[in-house]
Amino acid sequence: INSCAFLESARKETLDTVFECDGYRRDGKLEKIVMTGCMPQKFIDELFDELTEVDVFLGTNDYDLLPESIEEAYRGNRVHYVGKEKKVFARKDRVVTTPLHYAYLKIADGCNNHCTYCLIPSIRGRYRSEREEDLLREAEGLGEIAELILVAQDITRYGEDLYGKP
């Protein structure tokens, strides 16, 4: 379950999905439940103790730990690997799930604005730009696409933290 913690409705949808999956497990149609993403990243202290239906918790940059965490769960343990490796940007081979003519390229993560209504800084941390050479290498690895869509919480700030100017 890849979770979102930004809106209350998204948090409710995640919890509903956990309980739905737990029903599949009771029916013998599912063995383990893994929750990844923003909800564990923000709320792991509450979730790990209270949401015992989940076998594995991983945060926003912990996806490389998925195989290891599932093995641990199959040994009979509940797993909390949120932030275990302290990575800024996860680097694994991309699995492009968009149509062949376009792809997304994440150029930065986090936010420094701390708006009163927003959880992003407390979930994703301070704004961090990807290095230009890493972005170019990733973009080249996407193959022949017609449209490359750049994404970040604040794309206009790209580079300030690395190069001193946007």
CA gyration radius for the chain? 18
pLDDT digit string, tens, across residues 49-79: 999 999 999 998 888 899 999 999 999 999 9
Pairing relationship of beta strands 147-151 and 102-106 according to DSSP bridges: parallel
Nearest CA among 11, 81, 8, 17 for reference residue 44: 81
Enter the pTM of the model. 0.73
Q: How confident is the model at residue 162 (pLDDT cuts 50, 70, 90)?
A: very high
Nearest CA among 100, 123, 91, 101 for reference residue 110: 123
- What distance in Å separates the CA atoms of residue 125 and residue 134, rounded to the nearest whole number? 20
Tokens of 124: 């994703």
- What distance in Å separates the CA atoms of residue 125 and residue 127, rounded to the nearest whole number? 7
Which SS3 state, helix, strand or coil, does residue 104 take? strand
pLDDT digit string, tens, across residues 106-118: 999 999 998 888 8
